Structure 1
Amino acid sequence: METLKQLNFARISLLGKIKKSTEATLDVKPAGFSNTLRWNIGHVYASMEGLTKRAVPTYEIVNPQWFPLFLSGTSPDNWEVEPPTLEELIQALEEQPVRITAVLENNLQNSVPEPMIIGGVHQMDTVEALAQFITWHEGIHTGVIDAMNRITAE
């Protein structure tokens, strides 16, 4: 259960940084960054959805139409559809932890159908390991979003 408390704490921190963003700066790609604020915000949401589905295959992804915009390897430079607004992203991020926690809480000790391996050396083969990765990933993007907010401040 501590893992899920950390996950929820990470989301609270993330939302605090996101709420300092403005619609006017969401699509600015500062020098040295490969994506925009909007992409980073949506990427956190889409990643949690996708990793939860990987951990618990019966989970039904919410907003799967956002995956082509925000999964790893995508770029706002290639978007051909209108992305969600800041308000839509914030609402989705606020609602997501309750849904995800309910799915993960009774499955933490379960093995995942397909372990996730990063860099050929780090293997995550339980639901709890993926939940911890989600939390770490969210923390990374919280820092990126904070930095981008500072750089793009009006």
Structure 2
Amino acid sequence: MEQTILHHMETVRGITLKSIHKTPEEIADIIPKGFNNNIRWNFGHIAFTQEKLVYGVLDEVMSLPKEYEEFFSAGTKPADWKGTPPSLVEISAVLTEQTARIKEFVPGRFSEKLSTPFTNRVGITFGTLSETWLFSFYHEGMHMEAIKRIYRAASN
């Protein structure tokens, strides 16, 4: 089963990487009317959240660049950014490297209990690594849909 889930992670992340590679930098920071965030924020948020849902929930060291939390954690938005966020190329490299790290980290740990159950912003509580990690695929898909909608709106 672990191999199936690892393969699913690669499939989901492959879709994300294909999308980021097709996204021109010049539209990455457009926030169309009706949206709070831009394409760059969504890609960075995918990386930050998966890191948190795999490593952070187990109190392991999160290996993302430090600025990812200030730019891309839940509740942040580009309007509040101080400094220059990472380029799409940099975010793509982080997403690629993250996938490789997770493939090494999670085997044999799927049933590992979290020292403290994790409750996300919508009130869902998770108790094991597999629960948080599997939820991250759903989360990534939601943000990919947001990216598609922003891309369409920004391209018009």
Could you tell me the TM-score, scaled by structure 2's length? 0.90
Correspondence for 2:98:
96
Correspondence for 1:28:
30
Equivalent position SS for 1:34: coil
Instruction: Please tell me whether the aligned partners of residues 42 and 147 of structure 2 are also in contact (alpha carbons under 8 angstroms).
Output: yes
Give how far 1:149 is off: 1.7
Cα deviation code 1:3-51 (max 9, x no counterpart): 2222221111111222221110011001111101111111111111122
Instruction: Please tell me whether the aligned partners of residues 48 and 69 of structure 2 are also in contact (alpha carbons under 8 angstroms).
Output: yes
Counterpart Cα distance in 2 of 1:56 and 1:6: 22
Correspondence for 1:140:
142
Cα RMSD (Å): 1.6
Give how far 1:73 is off: 0.6
Is 110-119 or 50-59 further displaced after alignment?
Answer: 50-59
Counterpart Cα distance in 2 of 1:83 and 1:19: 17
Structure 1 unpaired stretches of 5+: none
Could you tell me the TM-score, scaled by structure 1's length? 0.91
Q: Which of 65, 68, 85 is matched with 1:66 structurally?
A: 68
Equivalent position SS for 1:106: coil
1:86 aligned partner, one-letter code: L
1:60–1:39 distance in 2 versus 1, CA, 3 Å: closer
Percent identity for Structure 1 against Structure 2: 27
Give how far 1:132 is off: 0.5
- Which structure would you say has the larger RCO, counting Cα contacts within 8 Å and 6 or more residues apart? 1
Q: Which of 36, 54, 57 is matched with 2:56 structurally?
A: 54
The count of aligned residue pairs is 153
Structure 2 unpaired stretches of 5+: none
1:15–1:42 distance in 2 versus 1, CA, 3 Å: same
Correspondence for 2:84:
82
Instruction: Please tell me whether the aligned partners of residues 110 and 129 of structure 2 are also in contact (alpha carbons under 8 angstroms).
Output: yes
Equivalent position SS for 1:63: coil
Counterpart Cα distance in 2 of 1:15 and 1:97: 11
Counterpart Cα distance in 2 of 1:96 and 1:54: 13
1:61–1:80 distance in 2 versus 1, CA, 3 Å: same
Equivalent position SS for 2:56: helix
1:147 aligned partner, one-letter code: R
Give how far 1:58 is off: 2.8
Correspondence for 2:117:
115
